[in-house]
């Protein structure tokens, strides 16, 4: 008797629905969800965080070695960064345009007794640049600093290619360790439905539907922009540049999108994103490099959120943003999204940098802080979908380039 196994996406979807129902049912006693359910979500996320560093390190090294050509890595890297920058700038622009269109219906909240600690706000571009390069071999792993891990993997990968040019070496061990990490990741991902349930249920139980309250319209505009950006930008990119129908793309991405929605963490969704993107036709060598990089530097959803919130906060303070201020927001939000870590709530901290760039009061963040998690779930979905669309587009471009040779 062979029982047909339910697809992972269906399992995750069912878990998501049950989590919402259970969360709503537990709104009167949220401590039950936080005490007994949340810890299992934390265990699941911890295991993913544990495997993600070695996974990224070895998969990038294995990818670089398999390319056997530093120039090829450079071409892929260049295309990836250009794609990420352009889509992010587009995302903030969409956020700003729609927030301005809907500004009239936004509530005007009182700004008199706002208190927000603007301590973590001075993020300077040069500091971010210096922070990309590790000064200690182990520290990037201890701190789970993804950008530094990527840099380390690239340098060692390049060194291996160079040695290989001089004498044929056998780097089988790297591939074996990479396969082991992948297998361990697969084992952890089997528990995704349970993880999704345990992560989402306490959020719903703790916040309940009333959290939407007066900010429902701002949230609506945020989610509208997320949807428009995904449908317009990613659909167009994957169907024209990536030779993949947009329906297939979104269908294939569903498990990762649901995981992103529940965990609000791009890094936590990375293993599932790699799996989904490869199933959709992204090359292994491209996905293993483009996706970890994207989980760290490409945050289109976060950029949209920063655009929408800047306009909302400005209007609460009775300030009308000028066109040049909006351009500054496009620029700083694009840079801020590079510096945003792929963990829950990071985008809100970076909003401070965007507000400061146009002289808006940083305390304004307190106006949106209460619903940040709801914004965050949506923006993380957009963030990881953007990464995957890039992996698919760059893979297709690479295939075309190679077939021409």
Q: What residue ranges bind ligand ASP (CB under 6 A)?
A: 264-266, 299, 302, 340, 342-347, 376, 379-380, 383
CA distance 329 to 339: 15
Least separation, in Å, of the C-beta of 172 and ligand ASP?
Answer: 34
Give the residue ranges of DSSP H helices in 167-299.
Answer: 172-189, 192-207, 216-229, 235-236, 246-263, 266-279, 284-297
- Residue 261 Cβ vs ligand ASP, minimum distance, rounded to whole Å: 11
As given in the structure block, the two tokens for residue 359 are 């002289």
Q: Which of 31, 58, 39, 61 is nearest to 271 (CA)?
A: 58
Closest residue by Cα to residue 350 from 304, 290, 293, 316: 304
The rounded distance, in Å, linking the Cα atoms of 107 and 93 is 22
Least distance CB 31 / ligand ASP (angstroms): 25
CB of 316 to ligand ASP, least distance (A): 21
**Nearer to ligand ASP among residue 11 and residue 273 (C-beta):** 273
Report, in Å, the least distance between residue 53 CB and ligand ASP: 16
* d(C-alpha 389, C-alpha 282), whole Å: 9
User: Closest residue (Cβ) to ligand ASP?
Assistant: 347
Residue 26 or 93 with smaller CB distance to ligand ASP: 93
Rounded least distance, CB 303 to ligand ASP, Å: 9
Q: Which residue has the tokens 């959709």?
A: 280
Nearer to ligand ASP, 266 or 334 (CB): 266
Nearer to ligand ASP, 244 or 346 (CB): 346
CB of 319 to ligand ASP, least distance (A): 24
Minimum separation from the CB atom of position 267 to ligand ASP (A): 6
Residue with smaller CB distance to ligand ASP, 46 or 240: 46
In DSSP notation, 104-169 reads GGS-----TT----GGGG---HHHHHHHTS-SSSSHHHHTT-HHHHHHHHHHHHHHHHHHHHHS--
Q: For residue 19, give the H/E element and its range.
A: helix 8-25
CB nearer to ligand ASP: give 62 or 99: 99
Count, in order, helices (H) and strands (E) of the chain: 19, 0
CB 145 within 8 A of CB 134: yes
- DSSP string for residues in 300-335: HHHHHHHHHHHHHHHHHTT-PPPHHHHHHHHHHHHH
Specify the residue, 222 or 242, whose C-beta has the smaller distance to ligand ASP: 222
> Nearer to ligand ASP by C-beta: 298 or 398?
298
């Amino acid at each position: 008797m062979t029982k047909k196994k339910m697809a992972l996406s269906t399992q995750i979807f069912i878990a998501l629905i049950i989590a919402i129902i259970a969360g709503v049912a537990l709104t009167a006693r949220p401590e039950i969800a936080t005490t007994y359910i949340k810890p299992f979500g934390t265990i699941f996320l911890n295991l993913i965080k544990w495997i993600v560093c070695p996974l990224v390190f070895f998969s990038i090294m294995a990818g670089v070695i398999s390319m056997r050509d530093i120039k090829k890595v450079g071409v892929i890297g260049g295309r990836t960064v250009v794609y990420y920058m352009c889509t992010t700038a587009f995302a903030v622009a969409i956020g700003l345009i729609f927030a301005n269109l809907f500004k009239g219906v936004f509530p005007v909240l009182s700004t008199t007794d706002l208190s927000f600690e603007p301590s973590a706000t001075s993020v300077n571009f040069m500091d971010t640049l210096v922070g990309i390069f590790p000064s200690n071999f182990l520290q990037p792993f201890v701190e789970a600093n993804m950008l530094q891990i990527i840099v380390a993997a690239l340098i060692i990968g390049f060194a291996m290619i160079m040695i290989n040019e001089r004498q044929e070496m056998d780097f089988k061990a790297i591939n074996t360790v990479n396969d082991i990490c992948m297998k361990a990741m697969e084992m952890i991902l089997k528990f995704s439905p349970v993880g999704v349930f345990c992560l989402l249920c306490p959020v719903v139980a703790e916040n309940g539907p009333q959290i939407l309250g007066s900010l429902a319209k701002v949230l609506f505009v945020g989610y509208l922009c997320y949807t428009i950006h995904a449908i317009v930008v990613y659909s167009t990119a994957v169907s024209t540049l990536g030779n993949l129908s947009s329906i297939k793309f979104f269908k294939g991405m569903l498990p990762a999108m649901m995981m992103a929605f529940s965990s609000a963490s791009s890094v936590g969704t990375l293993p599932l994103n790699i799996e989904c993107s490869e199933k959709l036709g992204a090359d292994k060598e491209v996905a293993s490099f483009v996706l970890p990089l994207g989980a760290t530097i490409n945050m289109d959803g976060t950029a949209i959120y920063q655009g929408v919130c800047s306009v909302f906060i400005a209007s609460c303070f009775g300030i009308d943003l000028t066109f040049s201020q909006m351009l500054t927001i496009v620029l700083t939000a694009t840079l801020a999204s590079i510096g945003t870590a792929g963990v829950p709530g990071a985008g809100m901290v970076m909003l401070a940098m965007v507000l400061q760039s146009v002289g808006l009061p940083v305390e304004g963040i307190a106006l949106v802080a209460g619903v940040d998690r709801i914004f965050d779930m949506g923006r993380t979905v957009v963030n990881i979908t953007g990464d995957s669309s890039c992996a698919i587009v760059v893979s297709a471009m690479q295939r075309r380039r190679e077939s021409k040779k």
